[in-house]
Amino acid sequence: MTDISTRPASPTLDEVAVLAGVSRATVSRVVNDSPRVSPEARAAVHSAIAELRYVPNRMARSLVTRRTDTIALVLNEPNTQVFSDPFFASIVRGVSATLADTDLNLVLLTAQDEREQQKIGRYARQGHVDGVILMSVHSNDPLPDILADAGMPLVMCGRPFDDRAVAYVDADNRGGAEAATAHLIATGHSRIATITGPLDMIAGVDRLAGHRAALTAAGRQVHPELEAEGDFTEVGGVRAMESLLARDPELDAVFVASDPMAVGALRALRAAGRRVPEDVAVVGFDDAAVAARCDPPLTTIAQPLTDMTPLLTELLLRQIEGVGEPAESRVCHTSLVRRASA
């Protein structure tokens, strides 16, 4: 143990009580906004708090309340690129904004590898947080199990791989992808490729399934050589598009499973001398800010982020409050946003 005695000790409830001339219990009542306190006592306590610059010790409080009033948003991504994905940024900002009006704190936890995931699992189980929102779950991530086993309130952003009983909020990835490819079919394209997300992520899997379903529904064949796996990043989109063009120079449309990848695809298409949408039509997914800005503006599938983030926190809070309840989940509708690229 290191010497921390020289750090200025912070005042305690007792000291406030002595200064205010009341009991510890009364100070606690004032701090916790209990109604049964006389105005005089309340005023005395408030001025003592101000004078001593008292801040309650959360450890002591949490020890008895079993609550920390903080929730964790876990970014579970080996790739550093997480941060550059506008989807993450939106979720983080949205959850943060939803919580701003409450007295709940939000902490972000990132895991690059399994070791860090274990560390996060421990962190949560040790009682640092009341609940967890888990993002970017890959098929082999141990974290959902660790947290669920520990009985930690948990909401996943994106449905789980297996049909486990865990709460989640997801966009209708399959339906959205189906609509995207159906749009490409309806606008007369015949060789429709796709750049998928990572196939160890459920969003990648579902969007590919939707794409294939649209093809099948229209009586088309599914051609494996017209499917290239990307990683939800712009660079990944460039590479996947180059690979698709090499495999089938005649392709006339691509459904790209995320907007950052679509921006990459646009770049690769331009570099290959293809015009969009004349030679190749492109539909993205996300409706990220970049979609409206890029050249040409991207036709894309909008995720209802403004619905999803409040839902994410709401579902989690409900689990934290009422413990017995079964975990509830939601799937949010997507919609096609037509711009110039398809």
Partner DNA sequence: GGTCTGTGCGGGAGCGCTCTCACAGTGGCA
Partner DNA sequence: TGCCACTGTGAGAGCGCTCCCGCACAGACC
Which residues would be at the binding site for DNA (CB under 7 A)?
A: 1, 9, 12-14, 21-26, 28-29, 31-32, 35-38, 40-42, 54, 56-57, 60-61, 63-65
Of 21 and 78, CB closest to a copy of itself: 78
Shorter beta-carbon distance to DNA: residue 12 or 112: 12
CA dihedral 33, 35, 41, 45 (to 10 degrees): 0
CB of 211 closer than 8 Å to CB of 205: no
Residues in the chain: 342
Distance CA 62, CA 20 (A): 24
What is the C-alpha to C-alpha distance for residues 35 and 51, in angstroms, rounded to an integer? 23
Name the binder of 96 from a copy of itself, DNA, none, CB < 5-8 A by kind: a copy of itself
Residue whose token pair is 């990132």: 110
Per-residue string for binding with a copy of itself, 265-304, x by CB under 8 A?
----------------------------x-----------
50 counts as binding a copy of itself under rule CB under 8 A = no
Closer residue to DNA in complex, CB, 59/100: 59
- Window 157-216: residues binding a copy of itself (CB under 8 A): none
Q: Which does 37 bind (CB under 5 to 8 A by kind): a copy of itself, DNA, none?
A: DNA
Identified binder of a copy of itself from the candidate list 47, 65, 216, 306, rule CB under 8 A: 65
Asked if 83 is part of the footprint of a copy of itself (rule: CB under 8 A), the reply reads: yes
Vertex 132 angle, CA 126 and 136, to 5°: 125
**Beta carbon of residue 111, minimum distance to DNA (angstroms, whole number):** 24
Which listed range, 101-109, 160-168, 179-187, 273-281, lies at the site for a copy of itself (CB under 8 A)? 101-109
Nearer to DNA, 129 or 167 (CB): 129
Minimum separation from the CB atom of position 194 to a copy of itself (A): 25
Strands 154-157 and 131-135: what pairing?
A: parallel
**Starting from the edge strand earliest in sequence, which strands make up the sheet with 227-229, in order?**
227-229, 192-196, 253-256, 281-286, 299-302, 335-337
From the list DNA, a copy of itself, none, which binds 165 (C-beta under 5 to 8 Å, kind-based)? none
The Cα 106–Cα 328 span in angstroms is: 21
Contact between residue 218 and residue 192 where contact means Cβ atoms under 8 Å apart: no
CB 291 within 8 A of CB 339: yes
By CB under 8 A, is residue 225 in contact with a copy of itself?
A: no
**What residues pair up with 193 in beta bridges, in sequence order?**
254
Half-sphere exposure of 207 (CA within 13 A, CB side): 36
68 vs 90, beta carbon nearer DNA: 68
Closest CA to 197 of 274, 138, 146, 145: 138
Burial class (CB in 10 A: 0-12, 13-18, 19+), 55: exposed
From the list a copy of itself, DNA, none, partner contacted by residue 115 (C-beta under 5 to 8 A by kind): a copy of itself
Closest CA to 240 of 272, 211, 216: 272
- Residues in the interface with a copy of itself (CB under 8 A) total 62
Q: Write out the binding residues for a copy of itself, residues 116-155 only, by CB under 8 A.
A: 116, 119, 122-123, 125-128, 150-151
Binder of a copy of itself out of 12, 110, 139, 329 (CB under 8 A):
110
Separation in Å, CA 147 to CA 17, 65, 124: 40, 21, 8
110: partner contacted, choices DNA, a copy of itself, none (Cβ within 5-8 A by kind): a copy of itself
Site residues (CB under 8 A) for a copy of itself, limited to 235-254: 235
Q: Which stretch binds a copy of itself (CB under 8 A): 37-45, 65-73, 212-220, 242-250?
A: 65-73
Applying CB under 8 A, the span of 99-107, 165-173, 186-194, 334-342 interacting with a copy of itself comes to 99-107
